[in-house]
Structure 1
Amino acid sequence: MFDQILSLLEKGGPVVAILLLLSVISLATAFFKGWSFLSLGIGRHDVAQQALKLWQGKQEVEAIGLISTQRGPLARALTHAMRGMLYHPDKDDLIREDIDRVASREVARARFGIRIMETVGQVAPLLGLFGTVLGMIDAFQALQSAGATVDPAILAGGIWVALLTTAVGLAIAIPSSLLATWFDSIVDREVLAIEDMATSVLTGEITSGAEKPALWTAKATTTG
């Protein structure tokens, strides 16, 4: 493996060196994001759902105690929502604004690093193409210098070495873009979970139909 990397560096020149450096940065970022999501519990909502059930069962203190032990954007947002509704139930508009503030901050932290992988996915193919253009220029300069005594093997060798940088750039860009999209989709699902569960805390799922309003029941009785 080490010999292959040295061979790539020797044939591709500084452009391949830059691309390999970008691949290391992207890979390190992917490992960091994976560890971060795992430690924060992003994508796992079991504890939050248990806390929400406790809250809906009028066990507010137990629900806050359970969710406050967790980390991550969803847990922080739900903790603020439950505490706000417990201590200031008449200020639901201000509570919603505060939840938006906390959720925006936590989601921004969760997205940190994803932009790096997206940038690598965008820049790597361009760098590879740039290296190919430089290699083609060198190949055709050698062709011009050779004059009438052109060796097709030398020209073909120069062209494939030039195309090597494009191949390396694409090999780095494709997994970087896929990983960035995957991590971004996880954060998007976390945002949806925050909106859904925080709204459930604020509204008490009043439109769920679990209980019919007295007016509705009376009207139905009269009609019957």
Structure 2
Amino acid sequence: MEDQIATEVATPVSAPLSDAFGDMVGFIAMGGPAMWAIAVLSILTIALILWKVMRLLSFGTWSGGGHTARALDLWAKGQTDAAMAVLDRRKSLRARLALAAMQAAMNPALDPNAAEAETARVARSLLARARAGLRGLELAATIGPLLGLLGTVTGMIAAFQALQEAGSRADPAALAGGIWEALLTTAAGMAVAIPASVALTWFESVVDGLRHDMEDSATRILHGARVVPADPIAVRRAAE
């Protein structure tokens, strides 16, 4: 009795899902091999976009840079140890670049030019990590329409071959059906390329903003004026 009830409950839920999956597979099959390639590309593109968003979140891209701003204020006041303590163990790219610039500036073995070069090296490495995956989105935006066009061309060839074989007995409705099935791949390719292009533009703007913030922090650390805290003993002696 319990098994019968469980079957009756599961059937209304699983049946629509299986029907939807079957319709989706049938829709993809109408476009031929190119449509299957576009389907795989769409899955990879969605996965890449989600991975990129999570990666940028882990880098603190949208955190606002509050700790970095506080550290820069302490650095400008001459409180170098406190500034570096604020940035210590922070995972955001802004904080890591600012800490690297402070360490380079405080390193007695590095002159100003060497400190700037070391900071630039760290910045390039961090920005390369921030840009990881953008090439894949660019590739998806490029080859999506090409795969769609390929599927359309091959489908049109097959449709006209069938028309030639039918001769005078050709059915215009069958020809029209073959043509619109071939055009499905073009629409599917554009449906993949458009979101990939939008995501690529958005991620590039985010990375550009991150690069601007990192350049600003490095400039303020390496070339900004710092207030050196006065020695209380020297101040007392001068007053005497």
Range into which the TM-score falls when normalised by the shorter chain: 0.7 to 0.9
Matches within 5 A, 1:24-173: 24-43=43-62, 44-88=64-108, 91-173=111-193
Query: How far is 1:162 from its partner?
Result: 0.3
- Maintained 8 Å contact 2:148/2:187: yes
Identical amino acids, percent of aligned pairs: 40
Distance in 1 (alpha carbons) for counterparts of 2:205 and 2:108: 34
- Asked if the contact 2:29/2:36 (under 8 Å) is kept, the reply is no
Output the CA distance in 1 between the equivalents of 2:39 and 2:23: 12
- Deviating above 4 A after TM superposition, structure 1's stretches of 4 or more consecutive aligned residues are none
Residue 4 in 1 paired to residue 19 in 2? Answer: no
> What is the Cα-based RMSD across aligned positions, in Å?
1.7
Contact 1:15-1:128 at 8 Å conserved across structures: yes
* Gap regions ≥5 residues in structure 2: 1-19, 228-240
**Deviation, structure 1 residue 193:** 0.8
Provide structure 1 residue ranges, at least 5 long, that are not aligned to the other structure.
Answer: 212-224
Give the whole-Å Cα distance in 2 for the aligned partners of 1:198 and 1:3: 56
1:81-136 CA distance string (max 9 Å, x none): 11122233971110110011111111111111111011001001000000000000
- Cα offset, 1:80, TM superposition: 1.2
* Secondary structure class of the residue paired with 1:147: helix
Aligned residue in 1 for 2:33:
14
Name the aligned partner's letter for residue 83 of structure 1. Q
Q: How many aligned residue pairs are there?
A: 207
TM-score by length of 1: 0.87
Residues 19 and 90 from structure 1, CA distance in 2 versus in 1: closer, same or farther, beyond 3 angstroms? closer
- Residue in 2 aligned with 1:190? 210
Instruction: Give deviations 1:164-208, integer Å, cap 9, x for gaps.
Output: 0000000000001111111111111111111111000111158xx
Q: CA deviation at 1:7?
A: 1.6
8 Å CA contact retained: 1:139, 1:155: yes
Distance 2:58 2:66 in 1: 15
Q: TM-score, normalised by structure 2?
A: 0.82
- Verify the 8 A CA contact 1:8 1:16 in the aligned structure 2: no
